[in-house]
Amino acid sequence: MSEVDPQAMKAAIREQARKNRVAQKNKEEISRQICEEFMAMPVYEAAKTVLWYVDAGSEVRTRHMLPEAMAKAAKVIIPYCIVETNQLELFWLEDMSELVEGAYKILEPATDLRELPSKRVQPHEIDLVAVPGTAFDASGGRMGQGKGYYDRLLSSIRPEVPLIALSFECQIFPSIPVAAHDVFMDLVLTEQKTYKGRGRKG
């Protein structure tokens, strides 16, 4: 029997996960539930600087929770994409008006604000990360868009910082093929369950 090609398996899972996510009903309501659970966690309360993300496409929606998050004590940081270098940079978000539509139609910091030294954040400053993704498994395995942006960013975050994926239950699969560079989540939080992942120390 021939072995299953990991890349073909990844492609099939990614396609199915996207279909599941697009078909997910009540996205706004369920997204709010997931985000509220995330913000109620003791690790969130303890964090001084939290790396969120601004939802794109059919991801768990965060943009409607960001104003509430900014009203709390923790600094809200968001990533934005530098297309030329395939890197994610970090920005201190203080108001939703600082965002404009950028690469891949994702809301990103306005170009003139990115250059302000006071707005730039380094990965070592982050205390907690909310991680988006296309698909996850119960051990914290994660599949992104396939470009490796988040894997590169997360590998530069301090190893003790919790990585918490925000996911719809329909994005959870029995197993995801992983490579050596793939980063495991500490927790995967869905509307139905919290999965304890291997994390980066596992």
DSSP the chain: -PPPPHHHHHHHHHHHHHHHHHH-S-HHHHHHHHHHHHHHSHHHHH-SEEE-----TTSPP-TTTHHHHHHSSSEEEEEEEETTTTEEEEEEE--GGGEEE-GGG-EEE-HHHHT-GGGEE-GGG-SEEEE--SEEETT--EE-SSS-HHHHHHTTS-TTS-EEEE--GGGEES-----TT----SEEE-SS-EEE--TTT-
**Number of folded domains that form the chain:** 1
The residue type found at 141 is: G
Q: What is the CATH number of the domain that holds 113?
A: 3.40.50.10420
At residue 4, the pLDDT reads 65
User: What does the mean pLDDT of the chain come to?
Assistant: 91
How buried is 177 (Cβ within 10 angstroms: 0-12 exposed, 13-18 middle, 19+ buried)?
middle
Residue 202 lies in a domain: no
- pLDDT per residue over 40-71, tens digit each? 999 999 999 999 999 998 999 999 999 999 99
Inside any domain, residue 20 = yes
Print the domain residue range for 54: 6-196
User: What is the number of residues in the chain?
Assistant: 202
pLDDT (tens digit, 9 = 90+) per residue, 66-76? 999 999 878 99
Structural domain includes residue 158: yes
- Rounded (5°) CA angle 150-181-139: 80
Task: Confirm whether 118 is domain-assigned.
Answer: yes
Domain annotation covers residue 201: no
**Sign of torsion over alpha carbons 42, 127, 94, 155:** negative
The list of the chain residues with pLDDT below 50 reads 1-2
